[in-house]
Amino acid sequence: MTVQRTLAQELADRWSQYDLDELASDAVKVVTAGTPTDWGLPSDVQSVVTPITLGGGIPDPQSLPREALTEAMARAVAVIDDTPLRYGGAYGFEPLREFLAERYTRDRGFPVTADYFLLTNGSAGAIDQVAATLISPGDVVISEAPTFSGSIRTFRGHMAEIATVPMDDDGMVVDELEPLLDRLTAMGKTVKVIYTISSFHNPMGVTLSAERREKLLRIAAERGIFIVDDDAYG
């Protein structure tokens, strides 16, 4: 143990000579604390007994189905084999993917199968996987302005450049999209993704109108651009 401690201390002393900021990847360097939040009103927090937190998409704790979840977990671990305690499939829990496909087909009227669904660790995990799959350094992601800063950090972490389109009461001003795409193309930029929160936008609270949704789909299809719809509340 003494030899290990001595070696560890020697290595620590050697590393102390380096500037870790210089060793960090370019992705780490472009995403710093507070990067996306460069505007807003000063906070005026008041102490109350039962505050209503609007800082995140957090439901009322009283609405959470605690008893139902507890019963469901008890049934899952009561299965005779050890399947519930193992890793799931590469694309997520198969029965849940099949359930989602059936529900989507029923509620949206568009027939899909479980192959359309990849289960992730929340929407942040999904956006990270999308970015890792589609984004090369220097590619452009177009988003609404303002938008959810967490997603912008994720895209920037994959070395994407961010271009923005303004919003109004009907969501993204899609009429501004094509002129922006033309300007970016003229600059030699590659636009890979249009990121939108089409329903109950965060932080604006608006919903993209049906007419604008159709136009957005048409533009993206004509130009070969992926749409990432962060439909957390839709």
173, 212: one domain: yes
pTM higher than 0.85: no
Q: Is residue 12 part of a domain?
A: no
* 20 — pLDDT class (breaks 50, 70, 90): low
What is the count of structural domains for the chain?
Answer: 2
Q: Can you give the residue range of the structural domain that contains 154?
A: 121-229
Q: Is residue 44 part of a domain?
A: no
Q: Is residue 27 part of a domain?
A: no
| C-alpha span between 156 and 196 (Å, rounded) | 16
187, 110: one domain: no
pLDDT of residue 48: 62
Alpha helices in the chain (DSSP H): 2-15, 20-23, 26-30, 66-77, 94-108, 122-134, 149-157, 177-186, 210-223
* 26 — pLDDT class (breaks 50, 70, 90): low
Amino acid identity for residue 199 in this structure: S
74, 125: one domain: no
pLDDT of residue 9: 75
* 76 — pLDDT class (breaks 50, 70, 90): confident
Query: Residue 70 pLDDT > 60, yes or no?
Result: yes
Percent of the chain at pLDDT exceeding 90: 57
pLDDT of residue 25: 64
Please report, to the nearest 10 degrees, the dihedral formed by the alpha carbons of residues 77, 59, 119, 222 taken in order.
Answer: 170
152, 89: one domain: no
DSSP string, 81-135: SSGGGS---TTS-HHHHHHHHHHHHHHHS----GGG----SHHHHHHHHHHHHH-
131, 98: one domain: no
Give me the half-sphere count of Cα atoms (radius 13 Å) on the Cβ side of residue 189: 21
Query: Residue 58 pLDDT > 70, yes or no?
Result: yes
159, 196: one domain: yes
List the beta bridge partners of residue 227.
Answer: 194
Mean pLDDT across the stretch 9-26?
A: 69
pLDDT of residue 82: 77
Amino acid identity for residue 145 in this structure: A
pLDDT of residue 173: 97
Please state whether beta strands 161-168 and 171-172 pair in parallel, antiparallel, or not at all (unpaired): antiparallel
**CA 111 from centre of chain:** 25
3-state SS, residue 72 = helix
125, 114: one domain: no
pLDDT of residue 215: 96
**Of the candidates 56, 89, 119, which is a domain's last residue?**
119
| C-alpha span between 140 and 11 (Å, rounded) | 41
Higher per-residue pLDDT: 199 or 232: 199
70, 126: one domain: no
* 45 — pLDDT class (breaks 50, 70, 90): low
* 1 — pLDDT class (breaks 50, 70, 90): low
* 121 — pLDDT class (breaks 50, 70, 90): confident
160, 187: one domain: yes
Please list, in sequence order, all residues whose beta carbon lies within 8 angstroms of the beta carbon of residue 173, skipping any fewer than 6 positions away. Answer: 165, 166, 167
Contact status, residue 158 vs residue 132, Cβ threshold 8 Å: yes
| Phi (first) and psi of residue 120, to 5 degrees | -130, 175
